[in-house]
Amino acid sequence: MTVSSDAHYQAPGIDFTALRRRARGVTGMPAYAVAKLCNVLFSQELARRLDGQGVTSYALHPGVVSSNIWRRVPWPVRPIITKGMLSIDQGAATSLYCATDPGAGTQNRPLLRAFGRARAERRGHPGTRPDPVGAQRSLDRILITPA
């Protein structure tokens, strides 16, 4: 299982030349969205490569969690933004479900949704539609390109 995020739907795609550069912007959310899109594509390609070998692969969205990712949000705003978010323990529930439930790993899935509600989701993001050639090229580029 790969922990991703619904934020991957915000990524317009992957600019491979920008992956090794420092992220621009104030929030870092565009870079975060691309990183999470890479996680989803990695899981899809791994599932394709291991198909028929008794191994499953999927990405999961843990929910919007009040974690240290919000640490740079200024104090007066942070409590407002994080109010209503899942606690860290609640955010871990989806990962724990996927790791311990015997039925969770029986099939490859594109994305499991938050907080133990394990239902496959397919939305319209072009980067997560099944594209074996694009996903393979992306994974090869990530794994093979020297640092």
Catalytic positions are: 32
C-beta of residue 22 within 8 angstroms of C-beta of residue 135: no
Report how far residue 20's alpha carbon sits from residue 57's, in angstroms, rounded to the nearest whole number.
26
Other CB atoms within a 10 A radius of the CB of residue 25 amount to 8
Show Cβ contacts of residue 29 under 8 Å, excluding neighbours closer than 6 positions.
Answer: 7, 10
3 state SS for 35-92: HHHHHHHHHHHHHHHCCCCCCCCEEECCCCECCHHHCCCCCCCHHHHHCCCECHHHHH
